[in-house]
Amino acid sequence: MIGVSIAILKYRAVPAVAPEEVSIFTKIARRDLLQDDVNEALLMRPGQRLTNFLVRFDYGAIDGLVRSVARTVTGASREMRLTQTGYVRSYAFWIVLGALALLLSIFVVTL
């Protein structure tokens, strides 16, 4: 009863607008003891950054590796296609080169 009486006497005249100039403790109390701020700083923001990083990592690194393999195969195929010139002399040259490679490999194996 005494406590209630003191509180009534002290805080009877409550200002309509909360005062701006208050102690740091009042400011913290007004922000719900900074629970949201702590959660945001320690969990939410780092979590968002990690998520955004992983989305980029998945596309750039993991899927990017697969795409680069695909690009390499496509590029190599495009280059190899140029060897098909339609000239008999060109094909004859490749046949001779192949035969030489075959002979060389037989020679190396039977050494």
Binding site for other proteins (CB under 8 A): 47, 50-52, 54-55, 58, 62-63, 66
Smallest distance from the beta carbon of 72 to other proteins, in angstroms?
14
| Geometric angle at alpha carbon 51, from 50 and 54, rounded to 5° | 85
Smallest distance from the beta carbon of 43 to other proteins, in angstroms?
10
In the complex with other proteins, which residue's Cβ is closer, 54 or 101? 54
Dist CA 56 CA 19 (whole Å): 46
Residue 3, amino acid: G
Smallest distance from the beta carbon of 48 to other proteins, in angstroms?
9
In the complex with other proteins, which residue's Cβ is closer, 29 or 62? 62
In the complex with other proteins, which residue's Cβ is closer, 62 or 104? 62
Smallest distance from the beta carbon of 28 to other proteins, in angstroms?
27
Structure letter (DSSP) for residue 63:
H
Q: Which helix (H) or strand (E) holds 71?
A: helix 63-81
Are 28 and 34 spatial neighbours (Cβ–Cβ below 8 Å)?
yes
